[in-house]
Structure 1
């Protein structure tokens, strides 16, 4: 039996696979389907950075040993009709996030007189500058 495979009319797109270690959880009353997972960025060195909620993950890009085709089944809705597949994308690389996520701490809190101490691994977002930076071993706000 032959199964016809065609490239979609939109052309062949290139996708990447995201590989996460662990488990993603949502609140019990929220479903994950159709919701954005987070924000994926690449820094100046090309390192992928994934922001999910109040957590940040740093990853690495790896080439796949063999490309993977992303296909969509078309047809075969009725009995007797033949199915065929459209190739909508091809995957050559994957982004691996194998380290534990680090918490993101809001930089606005210390400005109100609170202090954050011993957060060596914490990361901070300054909402005024929209930049991500690491905190030192001791950070005290004024």
Structure 2
């Protein structure tokens, strides 16, 4: 597994991280795996050989569990859908959330991997998980009427 160099996902989220980025309470948040690659999302296969013995292992992410920082967790299967401006205020089709209070939130995405291996007449699975974090800010939209 060391040769696979598995790691946490690169977080894709709207609102984005940054000092001048603020999301709106009550609007849909989108989460996704930013540019999924074999080492950060899989699948990736490697073979190791020593003499006449060899082992082949394939690793892939089964799910990503998002701790939204507000007491809510969201489990997403698959990489999610990257947000594009043309989606406007639509809900994410596969991995989303809505905040109900303004504030700063640390979002933690835990990717759960399964490594399936076989060799030398044996086989098995090894579970792994990796965490990535992002800090986002949610604000309230103020409406002025007369």
TM-score relative to the length of structure 1: 0.28
- Greater Cα radius of gyration, structure 1 or 2: 1
TM-score relative to the length of structure 2: 0.27
